[in-house]
Every structure is written in structure tokens, then in C-alpha cells.
Amino acid sequence: MIGLISATAAGAAARDRLAAAWPDRTRVYEGPVGDAVRTAFAQCEQLVCFLATGAVVRLVAPLLSGKTEDPGVVCVDEGGRFAVSLLGGHGGGANELAREVGDLLGAEPVVTTATDAVDLAGLDTLGLPVEGDVAGVSRALLDGEAVALRAEVAWPLPPLPLAAEGSYTIRLTDRLVEAAEREVVLRPPTLVVGVGASRGAPVEEVLGLVGDALREAGLSVASVAELATVDAKAEEAGIVEAARRLGVPLVTHSAEELSGIDVPNPSDAPLAAVGTPSVAEAAALVGGGELLVPKRKSAASPAMATCAVVRRPGRGRLAVVGLGPGARDLLTPRAKAELRRASVLVGLDQYVDQIRDLLRPGTRILESGLGAEEERARTAVEEAREGQAVALIGSGDAGVYAMASPALAEASDDIDVVGVPGVTAALAAGAILGAPLGHDHVSISLSDLHTPWEVIERRVRAAAEADIVVTFYNPRSRGRDWQLPKALGILAEHRTPRTPVGVVRNASRPDESSRLTTLGSLDPATVDMMTVVTVGNTATRDIAGRMVTPRGYRWQSAQEGSE
């Protein structure tokens, strides 16, 4: 919950805007400011104070406990010009909150955390348990000193300026080790603990067994990703509570699925009880991996719980990111986040240039020229298979005539794939023209480099006969100058010469141009590869210079009657 505190009418107005925008995230604290701050500080994860920073410093100073316990605090000035991350920038989420508040109120976010100031990923913001000399290693990264990565397990990390050797170390491990001097230990969630239990098994017995198994194997409980068991034990209280106390999800699998897993220690007892010869080992091994702790029983007599521990192989991450049509303000926040998360960026050189300034220092860039789509797709997948966090970029939406298709054709289930939608050229052009896509519509690429013209022509003819609005991508190039006239001729067989046609070049970019013409007047020679051509259907009209296709056709007959 975010506590909101204000002292003046202007502050209350801005406060109420936040409260209205985030009704489920915020709580307004009224009354004397000092009392409100103290109460909110004790009750909320974050605070937004519409007060001077000095006043807030004096109020919260006696309340501070430590960076891992204190809430994040953001201050907004009386004029609503700045949203200042004052306390708990990383641990309390104040840096991100300042950006969110700034976006909502039109204020400039002010973030002074050293790593954020130089666009370096903070070691305590990676989403992994972290131990050791965080301040010292972070300072070394900031000062440009050599910091080495010791990756004992594979895990995708955001870009960090790391060296092969160094006097400071970041150790990536799931082993039960203590951080050495000048070392940070990051613990990725690589361990799956399979658990079986008799009915009524106490949670203390389950937790004790899991803790002993991990400790004796030299493994850290902080790297446990999940507890896994059979469906029949999905509501077994001891297992459910053990997962809750460990802070990990409980994942269940059917007995049929577990029966198909090859395990070293099958048993007749679970087969008779729940229909599979193995619960603990099989549940841990469902996703593959290395069996580090074979099935073991709890020390109680009779033993009511079993467990096994598997280290799953680190999975790389491939984000297929749509950059939109080109304008920076049409690049989605999710796309920006993925670009900043990626340690490897793969893309067409001209697209890389569009977003190069958004990348974190240390991002490895693999760029190539036109015509290398399949090569880029293979490269991105191969990098992800090496355990990297990869962003593969494309214009518009990456799934529309772009990189998602070739990438997913290369990818298998050994990597995680995330699709990040973007604003397509058709949508950007449509917004410029008016509302041409207000009813059924289709996008057709006129490039026959990968699709035979016979197939393209059949699709154009089907759209023409179905009276569907058509947006043509890749309409005309120097070497392909006959396809657009041919496609327009097919549409003209079913639509009048007065049918509105919108032509938009470089939609949303600085040299954007657009015009509204008709099917009978369009000169194909004025169109190139940077252009999107949208042809209306029989209901589309030019209304006050805007291209409009109605959602319904009730007004169509009235308009036709007046013509």
C-alpha cells in the first residue's frame, strides 16, 4: 500500500489525482502531518509526501530502521514540478515510484541513487537474493574497477561492466557459501525440491527434512524455486504450509505425468497410495535437471515425509520486442524495460540506432543489415541458449511482418520466450488518417520475396470480394513496381473509383507525410517501401478530410441518399 500525505490545498489536489488513478494501491492519511507520516510509515510499503524534502527528512529520521526494512519515500513539491526519490530507492522501490508519480502528474522524477544516475543495474535490484559487500562491489563498478563474474550456475543477468579477472567478484551460485571479502553472492532460483508426505504430516517435519537435505548437500535455501509434489497432495496442509514459509510456490503434477519420469528410487508404496512409483524424485525431475539429493526420508519414526532436490539447468531468456513505428513516445514502457534488462541486443542496424541510447552500459550489441532476418533470429536464439538475457528487436509489432516468426521457428522449449507487443505501422497510419480500421480489416504484404505472387493475389482478391478494408505493407520498391497497381486493380473490380485511400509515409517519424486520395486517383509511382497504403471498403468515407470506416452501417444509406 502507498500512503499519501499532504499539507496544503495544492498538495491535496495532486494527492487526490494519485488516489483516483490508483484506488487499489493508495490510502490517504489525513490529520496533522507529523502523525500522518508516522502512521503511514508504520503501515505502508511506500509513501508519497506532498511536502518539502527537508520537512520529510525531519519527520522520518527518528523512524528509520534500515534499508531493508524502511518503506520507499517519494516527495512531490508544492508546484508539482518534481517527484524526488528520498528514501528506499532500490529496496523500497522509491526510484520506480518516483518515475510512476512523475508520469502521472507530469513531474520530473529525481533519482540520485548512484547506480541509477549512471544507468547501471543495481545489484540489489536484480530480483535475486543478494549477500556480501553490495556497497563495495557497486562502488567498484561505478569507479570502473575490474569486477569479475564467477558463474557457478547459468542465469540470465542484465548488462554489467564485468571483467574476466578482478579484485572484486560477483559470484552467481546456489551453493551454501558465505561471501568473501570484496564479493557479492547472488543466488538464482535453480533448485526444485520434490516433496512427498503421508496424510497429516506436520509442517515442522517437512521443513526440517527439506532444510537438512539442502544443508547436508551444501545448497542454499535461498535458491529454492519451488516445492513440487503430486496432485493428490495439493492440499496437504504440511506441504502447503512449508511452501508458504519458504516463500515459494507449490507446483503439482498428475500421477500419470510423474509415472513417466525415470527415477533411481521407485517404490511400491506411493504407487499404491497415489498412483505413481515416485513422488519426490519424479516431481523434482519433471522439468529436467541434475538430481543433487536423491529421495530421502525424514528422521521421524515413522517417517511421514520424503524429499529430493534437483538443479534445473539455467534457462536463457529471449524477449522479442516491437519498437513501434519509430516515434519514441510510441515505444511502450514494457519494451523499454526489456531493452534495459537485456545483456545482449540483436537487431537490424537502423533499428538499433533508434534505441541505442536506452541500453544500459555493458549491453552487447549484435547488429546486421537488411536481408539477414533469419541469421538474426538464429543468433538471438543461440545467445539465449547460452543463458543470456536477449532482446531481439523489430519495428512496429515484432509479430507482424517482423522477427517473432523466424525467432520462434528456431526456438525450442529450452529457453524462455517473451513477446512484447508494439504499435504497428497499420495502427500508426490509421491514427494519422482518422479511423479507417473501424470495421473488419486485413493487412497484406505485397513483397513476393518470401511469398509467391499467386498466393498474395489470391489473398487480395479474397479481401476485395469480402469488402474488407486493406492495409498494404511493402507496397512498392525499385525492383517491385508492378505489384501495387495489380493489387489496386483487383480491388477496383469490387469498389468504386471514389473509394477513399490513405497514404502514409514514415508514420510517426520526423519526416512523416500523409494524404487522403481515392482508388481512382492514387498514383502508385508516389509510393515506396516506407509507405503504408490503406484502401477503404464500400462503407468508408472522407469526412472533413479524415478517412472513416463505421463500426456499423446505419448511416451509410442516409449518406448515399444525400449524394
What are 498-556's pLDDT values in tens digits?
Answer: 999 999 999 998 899 999 999 999 999 999 999 999 999 999 999 999 999 998 755 55
Per-residue confidence (pLDDT) for residue 553, from 0 to 100: 53
Low-confidence ranges of the chain (pLDDT < 70): 114-119, 553-563
DSSP3 helix / strand / coil % (the chain, rounded to 5):
35, 25, 40
215-267 pLDDT, tens digit per residue, is: 999 999 999 999 999 999 999 999 999 999 999 999 999 999 999 999 998 88
Residue 72 C-alpha from the chain's centroid: 23
Residue with cell 490503406: 534
| Cis-peptide, bond into residue 302, ω within 30° of zero | yes
Look up residue 298 and give its amino acid: S
CA nearest to 336, candidates 420, 425, 417, 418:
420
Q: Which residue stretches of 61-93 are H helix? A: none
CA distance 516 to 222: 61
Q: Which residues pair with 46 in a beta bridge?
A: 2, 72
Task: Compute how many other C-beta atoms are within 10 angstroms of the C-beta atom of residue 385.
Answer: 18
Residue with cell 537438512: 212
The three-point CA angle 108-112-116 to 5° equals: 95
Q: DSSP characters for 475-508?
A: --BTTB-SHHHHHHHHHHTTS-TT-EEEEEESTT
Per-residue confidence (pLDDT) for residue 392, from 0 to 100: 96
Residue 7 C-alpha from the chain's centroid: 37
Per-residue confidence (pLDDT) for residue 119, from 0 to 100: 64
Task: Compute how many other C-beta atoms are within 10 angstroms of the C-beta atom of residue 131.
Answer: 16
Instruction: Indicate the SS3 state at residue 233.
Output: helix
Residue with cell 496432485: 231
CA distance 115 to 159: 13
Task: Compute how many other C-beta atoms are within 10 angstroms of the C-beta atom of residue 215.
Answer: 12
Q: Is the model's pTM score more than 0.75?
A: no
* First-residue to last-residue Cα distance in the chain: 60
CA nearest to 88, candidates 107, 108, 116:
116
Per-residue confidence (pLDDT) for residue 163, from 0 to 100: 82
354: cell is 533508434
CA distance 364 to 159: 8
Q: Count H helices, E strands: the chain? A: 19, 28
CA distance 207 to 213: 10
Q: Parallel, antiparallel, or unpaired for β 546-548 and 541-543?
A: antiparallel
CA nearest to 252, candidates 304, 194, 325:
194
Q: DSSP characters for 99-126?
A: HHHHHHHTPEEE---HHHHTT---GGGS
Contact 195, 282 (CB under 8 A): no
Contact 409, 388 (CB under 8 A): no
In 179-234, which ranges are E strands?
183-186, 191-197, 224-230
